[in-house]
Chain A
């Protein structure tokens, strides 16, 4: 987390890689949720432990997303969608000019 803070909000290869890793690890952990749950099968408070695992990973993911947002990697502003805005249809046609 500290490293994340230190990395700053500029986009360069190292912070980007770190953010990727940060986002990727909780995702990976969530993917392997079933195997983790299997490992916890013996435990008595299985549901709670599973929930804690889920929440922890979710927090990690949220942190990564927040970091992305802070770095400006998420397309949330209208400016990010500007290239896809269709030109408005014209309703009137005009023509003419100086009298020939």
Chain B
């Protein structure tokens, strides 16, 4: 199991040197503390995955972390050492704007929360509300800023767009409005980002149209003072919304008078406003991110900038590269050599601090940094040391230390796995050599013989090396031997229990993870993938075809532009494949992986685009010829959930398609939720079931069967329903349809062999229910040798039963094994994070209500409506998986064993044995006893043989 927190929203590093914690709040609605030495999670709290759990703000004070979540509805305080909840209060409704700590007379005592129409003040120690005040004119004024600096008053800034600012001053003691002023600001549209408070309550705003800064003291002045930017020799890029970044190191004292002004995506300048005077301290060109940090009396600014190729090493000359970088600036900050510098500058003067450069390289991932957090501390000699936390575009967290050492890094994108496949590991070098010998073409008897000799020699060499290593390892103490897995010694084990998990994450990063240890062996970031794209991962060639490398293909489709592209890679090493994928000009609707192969043993992938034309990949002549031959037996089905349309297409010889059937599900009444086909790699060993009277009930194993689930658009609990349709994907024939009244989704469905299990919420009885459908052909098989959907005169019999399940479900999947002999189990992920392994025999529609002689002979369990959750059926014990989103199963080399990966916020991998380990000797198998008995017997026969010989000889002598 590996635990993740997700993409960071807020982070806070403790300012002292000895601190070990890092408090983070993430977009996955998680509040967690990370160990800053190792990157491990110290504690973690997972809130609801829905927007209800979203964290709006996080504030840190001492040992307390204050979070505001659920759109400002809930205020919580966490103890940062152990992660306990100090207190929790619920706030009034109203859209949340901002929260801030408020101090009074050298003590931070309160938390102020600004809502759209009210401001409330809470005690920091127990969360009780001190006062709540309504804000005047809240209908047309947007209150967006909150400021206090320990003077006993809170300033609240509201804005009426393009008219004026409303500055309210509240007294901390009783919440009385002590002052209310209006400042005319007809040019201002919004406060967020554009305005900030610096120094002793001085508001600084940026206006884009007039290219000038506006300054106004909240406490004394009533007018905005305009300072044109030209007077500071500054200019900003066209069409860019400038931002102002200020810092307030301590809540009870004033903000720093210095602030950053972002002029363009890559240009920042440090400005100072002191005693009514605005001065320009320093320019930062080509800077990606800036951040402030404070320790003791010193406040520093950290600037993360791209190290330009032309000026390696000298980061002082940041200006110099500007002319050369002009063209690059347009591409919104791409750094050509992926090397970044972090430098510290003293804010008072803008001077660069010596020896504070961290240089790090992101060459491997090629992602841009997105967020920067700095932890500064004073060293013993009073110089400034720091550590930096950098989050990059691909949701990777890096913790850096001087000089450029990566202390740890976390791959937080794994908290959002979208697609997953398991690929066999390659054979070892020696085995591969042997395989390769057979793979090559024969060249004469002698040549073959010599080749065989050489490969045998290599085998011998490998074996002796292995023995030597074993001998060498045996002398070392057990604890020192570490079986490190890296990409070089990656090899398949005897039973193929270790596999490579290829994971696609929502951020567009691919991972190759070794399944037994969970080590990330390779990662690859696809830079041009936008968030919210849909992915489909397919294994085109497995490792079985040595010397051809295995090949995976990822189809990425952008949600907005609808354009898609293929990414072909080697799933073992993560390298991009040499094979050039076809350029896709039209948006791709669906794909189909055919079992036919080209001469390089790559399966053929068909892509159907929005003009219903088909592209083949790989598109060699051989493939096209094969396709032409079997084109009449290739069918597509497309499901359009928006229009409620299912349609089937037939492939024609010239790789166009024609529509062959169409099923319309009226969208006014119900909408299609899921469509489940069968897994293509599924084997079914038994073609039927033996009845009590020893006749056979044949299963209806239609490989083209689709299970379509619809939900009603009417969600009233009396009228809501779900519908299940079993549709043949070739002919469009509806084999079975049923409507479950008074049932509501979310529906989880598993479709395998000849059965479909789905789970829904029964609104009438208020419980979760399972329904199982099984399809049988009857006691006669129509055509035992070939299955064709076009030739099925008899509809299968459908058996159905329902069961009560005591818990909701977050994911469901069926186990799968190599040959399908092992009985099937359902793996059910519960919201508690446990995975329940439920035997399919418990969900058997042939379970009789009254057990008879015959049903007893069939080993059918008498029907009981409730399926119980037994804790001993949990396969993950206490290794819970929070917010499970899916379970993936893969067969292993052993028939009894099925590999399971559950993913959600965490990733968990295990093996399950649905029918126990029938093909493996038990752990307590007594090798010594059995072999000693065997040897003893052989020995005894030898002795008795000898004795008998002696006796015979003696008798002959007599």
Closest to A93 in B: B634
Q: Chain B residues near A90 (CB, 8 Å)? A: 703-704, 786-787
Cβ-defined partner of B790 (8 Å) among A79, A88, A92: A92
B617 close to A (CB within 8 Å)? no
Closest to B786 in A: A89
Cβ-defined partner of B591 (8 Å) among A83, A87, A92, A95: A95
Q: A94-B637, A100-B588 are in contact. Are A82 and B690 (CB under 8 A)?
A: yes
Closest to A88 in B: B787
Query: 0/1 per residue, A71-100, Cβ < 8 Å to B?
Result: 010000111101101111111111111111
Closest to A91 in B: B788
B637 touches A96 (CB 8 A): yes
Question: Chain A contact residues: over half helix, strand or loop, or mixed?
Answer: mixed
B687 touches A92 (CB 8 A): no
Query: 0/1 per residue, B570-590, Cβ < 8 Å to A?
Result: 000000000000000000111
Closest to A85 in B: B687
B536 close to A (CB within 8 Å)? yes
Q: Chain B residues near A82 (CB, 8 Å)? A: 686-688, 690, 696
Q: A83-B686, A99-B589, A100-B564 are in contact. Are A78 and B786 (CB under 8 A)?
A: no
Query: Which one of B104-112, B195-203, B638-646 contacts A?
Result: B638-646
Q: Chain A residues near B703 (CB, 8 Å)? A: 90, 94
Docked pose: A21 CA to B534 CA in angstroms: 70
Closest to B780 in A: A78
Docked pose: A82 CA to B641 CA in angstroms: 41
By CB atoms of chain A within 10 A, which of B636, B672, B674, B783 has the most?
B636
A95 touches B786 (CB 8 A): no
Q: Chain A residues near B730 (CB, 8 Å)? A: 92, 94
Q: A82-B686, A82-B687 are in contact. Are A95 and B633 (CB under 8 A)?
A: no
Cβ-defined partner of B704 (8 Å) among A77, A88, A94: A94
Docked pose: A15 CA to B677 CA in angstroms: 50
Q: A91-B633, A92-B704, A95-B590 are in contact. Are A100 and B534 (CB under 8 A)?
A: yes
B694 touches A72 (CB 8 A): yes
B606 touches A95 (CB 8 A): yes
Q: Chain A residues near B687 (CB, 8 Å)? A: 82, 85, 87-88
Q: A96-B590, A99-B589, A99-B641 are in contact. Are A88 and B696 (CB under 8 A)?
A: no
**Chain B interface residue count: which class?**
35 or more
Docked pose: A93 CA to B633 CA in angstroms: 6
Q: Chain B residues near A78 (CB, 8 Å)? A: 695-696
Closest to B534 in A: A100
Docked pose: A99 CA to B646 CA in angstroms: 10
B729 touches A96 (CB 8 A): yes
B789 close to A (CB within 8 Å)? yes
Docked pose: A94 CA to B730 CA in angstroms: 7
Query: Which one of B131-139, B421-429, B592-600 contacts A?
Result: B592-600
Cβ-defined partner of A96 (8 Å) among B555, B608, B633, B790: B608
Closest to A84 in B: B687
Considering the complex, which residues of chain B in the window 765-784 have a beta carbon less than 8 Å from any beta carbon of chain A? 783-784
**Chain A interface residue count: which class?**
20 to 34
Cβ-defined partner of A87 (8 Å) among B638, B701, B790: B701
Closest to A94 in B: B729
A79 touches B690 (CB 8 A): yes
Q: Chain B residues near A79 (CB, 8 Å)? A: 688, 690-691, 694-696
Q: Chain B residues near A92 (CB, 8 Å)? A: 633-635, 704, 730, 788-790
B333 close to A (CB within 8 Å)? no
A96 touches B639 (CB 8 A): yes
Closest to B633 in A: A92
Q: Least Cβ distance of B647 to chain A in Å?
A: 9
Q: Chain B residues near A85 (CB, 8 Å)? A: 687-688, 784
Q: Chain B residues near A89 (CB, 8 Å)? A: 785-787
A100 touches B595 (CB 8 A): no
B149 close to A (CB within 8 Å)? no
Q: A82-B696, A87-B701, A100-B588 are in contact. Are A93 and B784 (CB under 8 A)?
A: no
B536 touches A100 (CB 8 A): yes
Docked pose: A92 CA to B594 CA in angstroms: 11
B557 close to A (CB within 8 Å)? yes
Docked pose: A27 CA to B343 CA in angstroms: 99
Considering the complex, which residues of chain B in the window 607-662 have a beta carbon less than 8 Å from any beta carbon of chain A? 608, 630, 633-641
Closest to A80 in B: B694
Q: Least Cβ distance of B127 to chain A in Å?
A: 46
Docked pose: A82 CA to B537 CA in angstroms: 36
Docked pose: A57 CA to B712 CA in angstroms: 74
Q: Least Cβ distance of A29 to chain B in Å?
A: 32
B894 close to A (CB within 8 Å)? no
B684 close to A (CB within 8 Å)? yes
Q: Chain A residues near B22 (CB, 8 Å)? A: none
A99 touches B789 (CB 8 A): no
A96 touches B592 (CB 8 A): yes
Q: Chain A residues near B683 (CB, 8 Å)? A: 87
A96 touches B636 (CB 8 A): yes
Q: Chain A residues near B641 (CB, 8 Å)? A: 98-99
Q: Least Cβ distance of B251 to chain A in Å?
A: 50
Q: A83-B686, A85-B687 are in contact. Are A99 and B590 (CB under 8 A)?
A: yes
B675 close to A (CB within 8 Å)? yes
Docked pose: A80 CA to B674 CA in angstroms: 39
Q: A85-B784, A92-B789 are in contact. Are A99 and B639 (CB under 8 A)?
A: yes
Docked pose: A80 CA to B694 CA in angstroms: 8
Closest to B642 in A: A99
B589 touches A100 (CB 8 A): yes
Docked pose: A77 CA to B694 CA in angstroms: 7
Q: A88-B783, A100-B557 are in contact. Are A93 and B595 (CB under 8 A)?
A: yes
Q: Chain B residues near A99 (CB, 8 Å)? A: 589-590, 638-641
Closest to B588 in A: A100
Q: Chain A residues near B674 (CB, 8 Å)? A: 98
By CB atoms of chain B within 10 A, which of A72, A78, A82, A99 has the most?
A99
Docked pose: A99 CA to B806 CA in angstroms: 34
Q: B-contacting residues of A (Cβ < 8 Å)? A: 72, 77-80, 82-83, 85-100
Ordered by A's residue number, 8 sampled pairs between the chains whose C-beta atoms are within 8 Å are A79-B695, A87-B684, A88-B783, A93-B635, A94-B592, A94-B730, A95-B677, A97-B638
Q: Which A-B residue pairs are the 4 nearest by beta carbons?
A: A95-B592, A94-B729, A91-B788, A96-B637
Not counting A85-B688, A93-B595, A94-B704, a sample of 17 additional A-B residue pairs whose C-beta atoms are within 8 angstroms of each other reads A72-B694, A78-B696, A82-B688, A85-B687, A87-B684, A87-B687, A90-B704, A90-B786, A91-B790, A94-B637, A95-B637, A97-B675, A99-B589, A99-B638, A99-B640, A100-B534, A100-B564
